Amino acid sequence: MIAAVPATMALAQTAENETVKARRAFYTMLGFEMGGLAAMAQGKVDYDAEAAQAHAADMVTLTGLHTADFYAPGTSKDDLPGETRALPVIWEDMGAFQEKGQAFGAALAELNTAAGEGLDALRPAVGKLGGACKACHDDFRAADF
């Protein structure tokens, strides 16, 4: 029975690490899609309505995932140093965290509408979505691992 305890702890640690990997992958994919939109908004690449709509649609699809799975208890920066930048305050004030997520969702809905309407519509929508991202990062994400 004593030998089972370390094995169980190792399995739990593996599950937590896998949760963090999934969460980081989710945000990496969102960042990839946002990068294409931001490049257009900043004039680094030419505006392409079809590409902008595809990036926005991909983000909408990603946010349709059941993301609660990515926030299992025991997966904060304090729990898994060097693996994540998620601050423990997420789990201490899940309501505030969810409010930031709702603001992100509202900004994404606006972006999804604006993406194909031209650069003048895209720019402020990308700015608003970027602001929603930053607001969450400011409160819930550490600057480094």
Residue 58 contacts residue 33 (beta carbons within 8 Å): yes
Q: Answer left, alpha or beta for residue 82, where phi above 0 means left and psi between -120 and 50 means alpha.
A: left
Q: What is the CATH number of the domain that holds 59?
A: 1.20.120.10
- Expressed in percent and rounded to 5, the helix, strand and coil fractions of the chain are 70, 0, 25
**Tens of pLDDT, residues 79-136:** 999 999 999 999 999 999 999 999 999 999 999 999 999 999 999 999 999 999 999 9
34 domain-assigned: yes
What is the number of structural domains in the chain?
1
User: What is the residue range of 63's domain?
Assistant: 4-140
29 domain-assigned: yes
Both tokens of 101, joined, read 């997520």
The beta-carbon contacts of 87-91 under 8 Å, at least 24 apart in sequence, are: 87/139, 87/140, 87/141, 87/142, 89/139, 89/140, 90/140
Both tokens of 124, joined, read 């402020």
Q: Is the pTM of this model over 0.95?
A: no
The single-letter DSSP state of residue 144 is -
When comparing pLDDT for 14 and 137, which is higher? 137
Binding annotation? 133, 136-137
Binding annotation for heme c? 133, 136-137
145 domain-assigned: no
